[in-house]
Amino acid sequence: MNLLQLYDKLEKLVGKLPTALQGPILHEITPVKSLFLARRPPRLALLGEGGAARADLLNALFGAAVAGADDPEHTGWNDLKKPKGGTLRIFDARPPTPLNLIKNTLADELPDIFLLLGSAETNLDFAANVAATTPGGIIAVSAGTSASQLNDFRASALANTLIGERLRATLAIQADTMAEAIIEELPENARLEMARVSGVRSVQHRVAGVLIKSMVAICTAIGTQPIPLADFPILLSLQVTLVAGIMYVSGREMSLRLAGEFLGALGANVGVGIVLREGSRSLLKFLPGWGDAISGAIAGAGTYAVGKAAAAYFIDGISIKDARQLFKGGARNRANAPRVEDSRKPEAGARG
C-alpha cells in the first residue's frame, strides 16, 4: 500500500467516526498530505554576481559535489538532483542573462526565495531590478566568512531600498545555516525536499516533527474509539507509514516493508499492544468514560515513541539497540524519553 492509498483509506475511516472527531483528525491529516502527497522541489532563484560562488553555494546546500565552476549558464528553471536524496529547482537570474528573459521566466514560475550571492562590492542594481518583478524574500549569501565581511555585505544589501525591505538573513556559505534560513521561507509542500537535499539534521528533525505530531494526534483520536481490535490494523498501518516517512525525510527511499521490519526490530509487539489497549478498555467497568481515554493515550504514546526512535535512528544514526531503548522509554513515559547524543554511531548492517 502506498501513501496515497493509505490516506484515502484513512479519510474514509474518518467519515465513519463521530462528527466531533472528524474535524480534529482531518486538521492533522492536512500538514502530512502537504508534506508528502503534494511535495515539490523548492524553487530558488540566484541573484548577484557570477563566478564560482554559484558552485560553492549549490555544493554546500546539497552536501555533495553537484555543480562545478565551469558549468554552463542556464536560461530557465533547472532541476538539480542529489543522488538518492532529493531535488532543488534552480534559476540563475544573474548577468549575463538578459533582464527581459529573466522577467518572463519568473512570470511563468515564481521562486520561493531569492539567494543573493556577492559581497559589499557587488553592484546590486541588476539584482534589485530582478527582485522587483516578483514577490519573495531574499537571503544574502557571502563568499566571505568573517564577521566583518558578513556585516559589510549586510549593510550594502540594506542600503538598497528594495533588497533591504525583503532581506531575511545574511549568511556565509555554510550548509546548516543556509538550509535553516531557506526552510523558514518555504511553503509546507517544499520543505520535505529541502530536508532531503541538505542532509542537515536540525532541518530533517523539524520536518519529521511535523509528521510525528500529526500521526500522534490521529492515532490518539482513533485509539479513543470503542471498537475493540478493529482499529489495530489502522494504527499499525499509520505507525509503519510514520517510520517510512521519516526514512524519506532522512534522504532514503520510502519503503513500507523496511519500515515494518524496523518496528519489529524495536520490539513493537502487536500482541503486547492489544493486551495493554484492551486492558485499558476493561476500566470502563469501573470508570465509565475513562477506559477509552486511557486507550487513546496508549495509542498516542506508542506512536510518539515509534516516531522519536525512528528519527533518532534514521536521522541521527544511533544504533538499533539504542533506538530500541529509546522506544521502550518513550512508550513508558513520553516526558522522560532518553535524549539522543550526536556522537553515537549506527551499527553496521542495521540500516533499512
pLDDT at 228 over 70: no
Q: Could you report the per-residue pLDDT of 61-93, keeping only the tens digit for each?
A: 998 888 776 566 667 999 999 887 789 999 999
User: What pLDDT was estimated at residue 53?
Assistant: 81
Task: Pick 323 or 25 by higher pLDDT.
Answer: 323
Please name which of 42, 34, 45 lies closest in space to residue 62, comparing C-alpha atoms.
42
pLDDT of 25: 76
Banded model confidence at residue 229, pLDDT cuts 50, 70, 90: very low
Q: What is the pLDDT averaged over residues 299-317?
A: 91
CA–CA distances in Å: residue 347 to residues 56, 196, 206, 351? 33, 22, 24, 8
- Is residue 96 reached through a cis peptide bond, with omega within 30 degrees of 0 on the bond before it? yes
The mean pLDDT value for 210-229 works out to 75
108: left (phi over 0), alpha (psi -120 to 50) or beta: alpha
Give me the residues paired with residue 339 across strands.
none
Residues 307 and 314: their CA atoms lie apart, in Å, by 10
pLDDT of residue 218: 82
Q: Which fold has domain 43-185?
A: Rossmann fold (3.40.50)
More confident residue, 58 or 268: 58
Average pLDDT, integer, range 302-328: 93
Question: Do 305 and 330 form a contact (C-beta atoms < 8 A)?
Answer: yes
3-state secondary structure 107-150: HHCCCCEEEEEECCCCCCHHHHHHHCCCCCEEEEEECCCCHHHH
Summary mean pLDDT of the chain: 80
Residue written as grid cell 499499525: 236
Give domain limits for the chain.
3-38+195-336, 43-185
How do beta strands 87-92 and 78-81 pair? antiparallel
Asked whether residue 271 carries a pLDDT value surpassing 80, the answer given is no
Distance CA 211, CA 28 (A): 9
